[in-house]
Amino acid sequence: MIDLSVIIVSFNTEKYMEKCLRSVYGSLSGIRSEVFVVDNASGDKGPDVVAEKFPQVKLIRNKENIGFGPAHNVAMKKAKGRYVLLLNPDTEMVQKDMLREMIDWMDKHPKAGVSSCALLNTDRSIQGTGGYFPTISRVFAWMLFLDDIPLLDRLIKPYHPLHPWSFLYSGEEFFKKLHEQDWVTGAFYLLRGKVLEEVGYFDESFFAYVEEVEYSKRIKDAGWEVWYLPKWKIIHYGQVSSSSEFATTREFKELKQYYKKHEPAWKMPVLRMLLKIGAVLRIVVFGILKGPQSVKTYVKAFQIV
């Protein structure tokens, strides 16, 4: 029996792929495993590098960029592991035995359907990975910067608990302790095989940036737990396949898709109003703090909503 199926979806990540795969194989000692790379029609030589230097990888070449969730589905339908790890190509494992130890932790916690580790920047500072589901009250707090306020942040349980731009409260303490939360990002998403069998795959109507939220919603609704385990860590370079503008506008757009699927219809106009208010506030605040590029980003976000 295979213990772990590792799935990496790539799109123009040639610069990172070899380092990522070497760190993965360096962490698979003693684990019965298989590794998939699903390439989303990259314009670089990334898939050729994989084929040449890692012939043991099960390489799948898509003819077009079908998105994060759909590309993972291609390999998830072929995966045979007791656990399935969704891993970004712009990551590097820095603890040799972390995969075996995290599998052991999951084996000892049978209600845990998903777990993730700490994501670090190259300077070893903490990145956020997930948070709580985007209810109306949490979107309200997010758009109006209320979840940047110390103590209030803990009461709200934010959609995005990390606030690197905040002068009041960064939220880093949230990601220093082991805890259960609603969702984690797909940069490192360790999924129990039984959950995959029970809940199914990513909803392919989500292209990127909210698909993990939606998937985690179905997993939690089925009675499973989602855990953040900061004892184990990886470096995550971040946003190497897309711009911050694409990430922001896509998240706004797909939050509407999430609400259409999981929330009553009356909440949709409330969501849209909050996102528009938030976009305007960010045009003003980030325009002053970060310059004209951020203004352009949120003007597009406003138009999308």
Q: Where residue 287 falls among pLDDT bands split at 50, 70, 90?
A: confident
Q: Where residue 242 falls among pLDDT bands split at 50, 70, 90?
A: very low
Q: Looking at the predicted structure, is the pLDDT value of residue 188 above 80? A: yes
Confidence (pLDDT) at 165: 60
Q: How far apart are the first and last CA of the chain?
A: 47
Q: Where residue 297 falls among pLDDT bands split at 50, 70, 90?
A: confident
pLDDT tens sequence across 55-113:
999 999 999 999 999 999 999 999 999 999 999 999 999 898 999 999 999 999 999 99
Mean pLDDT, rounded, for 279-289: 88
Measured distance CA(51)–CA(43) in Å, rounded: 15
Q: Looking at the predicted structure, is the pLDDT value of residue 246 above 60? A: yes
Mean pLDDT, rounded, for 287-297: 80
Mean pLDDT, rounded, for 169-187: 89
pLDDT tens sequence across 196-236:
999 999 999 988 789 999 999 999 999 999 999 999 999 99
Q: At residue 220, what is the residue type? A: K
Q: At residue 275, what is the residue type? A: L
Nearest CA-CA partner of 160 in 124, 129, 186, 117: 129
Between the alpha carbon of residue 61 and those of residues 50, 66, 128, 255, the distances in Å are: 11, 11, 30, 29
Confidence (pLDDT) at 241: 46
DSSP state of 186: T
Confidence (pLDDT) at 185: 94
Query: The pTM is what?
Result: 0.93
Mean pLDDT, rounded, for 233-254: 80
DSSP state of 147: G
Confidence (pLDDT) at 295: 84
Measured distance CA(7)–CA(233) in Å, rounded: 18
